[in-house]
Structure 1
Amino acid sequence: MGVLTGRTALVTGGSRGIGRAIAERLGRDGARVGVHYGRDETAAKETVAAIEEAGGRAFALQAELGVPGDAAALWSAFDTQADGLDILVNNAGVTGRREPLRQATEEDFDHVFAVNTKAPFFITQLGLDRLRDGGRIINISTGLTHGVAVPELIAYAMTKGAIDAFTSTLAKDLAPRGITVNAVAPGVVDTDMNASWLRTDPEAWQAYSDASPFGRVGAPRDIGDITAFLASDDSRWVTGQWIDATGGALL
């Protein structure tokens, strides 16, 4: 039996990239995984199929984030397929336009905050009555909130700074229920989100590989495996933490 057998997990943005790696790992560990997606139904079904082919259990649910009523719509879809929750992974996010402060628009700023900060806040709020005592909340942050500054991603970094504060505060609030709350902070990871500037630019790929003492760019499974630890009973004495998952790039 897997370490998460009998438990139900929800991974927002679970159909692609880091979210898919997290969903697949939790599935391998025995959890029944809700794979949330916004628009790409095909990718969500492929992720569910991959989990089931590996012997796990999963289901897809759709809700567009960053729009009014998004959290309620997500939980309405979840409730048709599950009657409780043990693990919530707030992974879904967008980087927005890569622009410095002088070129940022109010529309893009509002959208990035709506998806990355407001959505997980209210998804968590509405999920608390569903989350069983002893549960786990894992928020996906970024290495950009600690020691690395990228002017073109200022709004994105700000949204994740808010998630870091959300993580530590919520950890203290939910500890009496035995619920842990932690944040995982990836560095540069080889995903479709980063493909347009990472995979197509050998110099960028080399630069970010060199930033890690391991000499490589991160892979989605690197983040999935760290998240799996935080979802397990082995992490019961870890809460309110920002876990550096940059492959040592901040050293």
Structure 2
Amino acid sequence: MLHSILIFTDGGNKLFHKDFISQLENPRMISNLLRTIVGFSKQSTGMVASYIEMKRLSVTIVTDPDLQINCALFYDKEDGPEFGNIIGHLILESFKAEFHEDNFTSIIQGKYNSFYSKIPEVVRRSVHPILTKLERRRGIETVLLIEKTTIAFDNKSKKIDQLGVAANISALDISGSDLMGYKADTLNFVTINGKNTIINISKIDNAVLVVCSDKAYISRELTKAIEEAIGMLKKIYSILSNLDSSGKTIKD
């Protein structure tokens, strides 16, 4: 789960800070500390420190050497470095795009607070690199992410009746949920075993992930890749469920 976002300059000046779960004590001091860590690692090894793991939390640091700004994400250690890397890059890119006319040299209190409202949109976009990576694996034929009856992600290179698929999946979801209702349970996963294809349908919050795989390429590695993508999506939708349209946590 995402705890905090901190965007700061190479000089250690805090540009943007937002807490979601636990509070980041003294973000200005932490900006300077992270600046020191990044600078020392670059000076001593020629490479930039990008991931710090602590007992409970992890920190991913994404840097932009041209604009000399950095984004640090604080999140649960169990989420892993890939989780922070994907969201961190998207947040920093979105921040730069939002304030593209700024050189980030003048520090004015509250100048970048409007970026709060962009956070849910950025987090939602993180599903694309996750599913694109899955889609490129050998043996994966189709990847669809459906939110209600809307296609949130699909393979544009393959001709698919999107409305038909979305409607059928929605109907299957309702039928499965009705069936589980008799057992006071919920529907999480459905496997459809065809002659040459296996279709995995996973319920993730208010979305449904559909992955079609060629049976000839089914392996432990492919199954693991699908499971990892599902796990990442669950983390993303968990964050989204705690955000409202203003970019603040519902608990705020």
| TM-score bracket for this pair, using the shorter chain length | under 0.3
Q: Tell me which protein shows more strand as a share of its residues.
A: 2
Larger radius of gyration: 2
Q: Tell me which protein shows more helix as a share of its residues.
A: 1
Looking at both structures, which has the greater relative contact order when contacts are Cα pairs under 8 Å and sequence separation is at least 6?
Answer: 1
TM-score when scaled to structure 2? 0.26
